[in-house]
Amino acid sequence: MNGVTLYKIVCPYYILANVMHTIQVGNVTPSTDFGNNIERYIEELSVSKQPLLLTRSGKGSAVLLDAELYQQMLDKIAFMQSVTEGLEDYRSNRMVPEKDVFASLENIIAEAEKR
């Protein structure tokens, strides 16, 4: 694994930049307009799959995401956290030899088959 690849795996900022969509200027709306037209904006979110930035007093106050996009982001973040934990375990020498893992799995399967 080269340094660039490792950086891409470990750095959450890199991952979030690649997971999240850039918020388009057209996808910015005042929160009062959103409140008055909720159904229209929900429909737009489900079709465009693009985040919607809500503003209050001209400043970003919230971001709305399509549920599917939100779940994808959560899944990718969880995966990256697992990778980070695995790299930390490797660096701290908290590992189990492969043969021990497979032996343990075989024991679990054997016990399950007895039931």
CA distance 80 to 90: 15
Q: State yes or no: pLDDT of 15 exceeds 90.
A: no
- CA 5, 6, 11, 16 dihedral sign is positive
The tens digit of pLDDT for each residue in 41-68 reads 999 998 988 889 999 998 889 999 999 9
CB 46 within 8 A of CB 108: no
Residue-level pLDDT at 22: 64
Please give the residue that has the higher pLDDT: either 25 or 82. 82
Question: Which domains does the chain carry?
Answer: 3-114 (3.40.1620.10)
Dist. CA 60–CA 18, nearest whole Å: 21
